[in-house]
Amino acid sequence: MKKFIIKTGMLGLLLVGLSACSDNYFDVNTPSGTAEEEELRVSDLMAPVMYRALAGQYSAEQSFGNYTQYFVGEGGVASGETTASGLWSSVYLYTLPNVETIKEKADEIGAIHYSAVADILTAVNLGIATDTWNNIPYTEATNGQDNLFPDFDTQESIYTEIFTLLDTAIAQLQQTDDSGTYLGTDDLIYAGDTDKWLRAAYTLKARYQLHLVQKGTVSASEVLSTIENGFVSNDDDFQMFYDDEDQNPWYSIEVVAKSTGNYHNDLASQIVSSMNGDYFPFESDALTIDPRLPVFGDNGGEDEWKGYVSGGGGLAPDGTSGNTGFAADGYYTSIDSPLLLISYAEAQFIKAEAAFLANGGSTTSVGSSAVAYEAYLAGVEASLSKYDVDGTDYLADGAIAVGESGLMLQHIMKEKYIHNFLNPETFVDFRRYDFSDDVFKGLSIREEEDSDGDYAGEWFRRATYPTTEEFTNPDVVAANKVTPVTPVWWDE
């Protein structure tokens, strides 16, 4: 797969966005390399916006990956409540204001494909923001000094806007763009391939539709209809690669930090036990672990792979010390690794889950349709291929090859959980199914021996608003503020 590498000089063109959500942001010094808005073309702004959109996903996962027990703090620490302030800054300071400028400039010259991609990026940012905080600023969020105290839009209205943005982008990407201004090297995701952007819009729409199936506002059949127009192979994956100059942030925070004796994270027992045969025992002697496990983690060459119990004081589930940390040259923890937003494998797991539910499946039912089972297998195959491992024995093992009659929701969600390693979408999945151990086998709430914060015995279900926003927009924030264990709208 071709890598679209980030270039530092390109990122230096970022137009400073003045978020209306907090007048604190107006105190930020303008970088010396920043250009004035009127000097910039749409092509100058697109790469920085894409960079910030993916960086925001990473920022959110720094907290949510602990909640979903992909990792724990060094020695097993379980995170407490979070404000996800890095994501807030990414969305409101760097992304939405610049996307609005792209839209304005694209409309001036009739560059409808730039406009479509801008809408997709807006939907992506609204999606991660509303799934993080529930009600968020949007309709009044980029008015600058005309409105320093914007109202918050409800999550229900934000979801309506997400679908409108994606539908608009889908329509525009299917039209001919005669503007003479086309996406190219500034497109860090698809290098100007609008067919892939079209499939990305459909796949993202299916993801957000799936969020609302349990809410009852979207049917599983609607999700199936949408995903049919989505990704067709791993080549469609929405991801952004780094390079030696712009290092992958997971590499910096995990590999470099650990090698220099600084604080880092270790792999949690939930992900390791889902891959080492503990929760899903392999039936063949050919397998001892999921072949993807060494792509994510490193156990120092020991015979057993033992993740750290969340909040368990450094212990593995068997009461001995955990031994698995991040792989120094893992798929997501190498110097030039990508940040992944959404993939073909996830699209297949979306299809499998939707088909399972459309067939009348529940969290404990056994057996489903051919469509659900075939999509489940396609997702596993795509994941093994993406991570470049030999999956022959894995796909043949009875723990995975369960057949249509043996398929359960936990099989689909286990494979999606593994594949979406370090993806904040998993926090949505956990909440959609109320952290059920019927769906996520073996899942148990963090222990309190080595846990950070309050709300013992309760699952975190959202971030709290950043303190800067509470200070500068107190009345509006107060009207929307609840505890971090309160469900968001689609989770109620």
Asked if 275 and 290 touch (Cβ cutoff 8 Å), the reply is yes
In single-letter form, the type of residue at position 415 comes to: E
> What is the enclosing helix (H) or strand (E) of 41?
none
Alpha carbons 52 and 91: distance in angstroms, whole number: 8
Packed helices 42-67 and 96-109: angle between N→C axes, nearest 10 degrees: 150
**Is the CA virtual torsion 201, 419, 351, 161 positive or negative?**
negative
Task: Tell me the C-alpha distance between 399 and 374, whole Å.
Answer: 16
CA 285 remoteness from chain centre: 35
The two beta strands, 265-267 and 71-73, are antiparallel
What is the pLDDT at residue 146? 54
- Contact indicator for 449, 313 with CB cutoff of 8 Å: yes
pLDDT value of residue 472: 87
Gap between the Cα atoms of 139 and 298, Å rounded: 46
Per-residue pLDDT of the chain (492 residues; tens, 9 = 90+): 344 444 433 343 444 443 333 333 223 333 434 556 666 788 899 999 999 999 999 999 999 999 999 999 998 999 999 999 999 999 999 999 999 999 999 999 999 999 999 999 999 999 999 999 999 999 987 665 555 678 999 999 999 999 999 999 999 999 999 999 999 999 999 999 999 999 999 999 999 999 999 999 999 999 999 999 999 999 999 999 999 889 999 999 999 999 999 999 999 999 999 999 999 999 999 999 999 999 999 999 999 999 999 999 999 999 999 999 999 999 999 999 999 999 999 999 999 999 999 999 999 999 999 999 999 999 999 999 999 999 999 999 999 999 999 999 999 999 999 999 999 999 999 999 999 999 999 999 999 877 777 899 999 999 999 999 988 899 899 999 999 999 999 999
pLDDT at residue 245 in the model: 87
Distance CA 251, CA 159 (A): 33
In 3-state terms, what secondary structure has residue 126? helix
Locate 307 and state its tokens.
């993740």
Non-local CB neighbours of 57 within 8 Å, separated by 6+ positions: 128, 339, 341, 423, 424
Determine the angle formed by the axes of helices 112-133 and 96-109, rounding to 10 degrees.
160
> Rounded to whole angstroms, what are the CA distances from 259 to 56, 296, 442?
25, 17, 32
Looking only at the bridges linking them, the beta strands covering 338-342 and 238-241 are: antiparallel
List the one residue out of 233, 290, 325 whose CA is nearest residue 414. 290
Name the one residue in this structure whose structure tokens are 């993080």.
132
Residues in contact with 292: Cβ distance below 8 Å, sequence separation at least 6, in sequence order: 275, 383, 384, 387, 389, 418
Q: How far apart are CA 418 and CA 406, in angstroms?
A: 20
Report whether 57 contacts 424 (CB < 8 A).
Answer: yes
Q: What are phi and psi of 20, to 5 degrees?
A: -80, -5
Place of tokens 């699209």: 347
Q: What is the per-residue pLDDT for 209?
A: 98
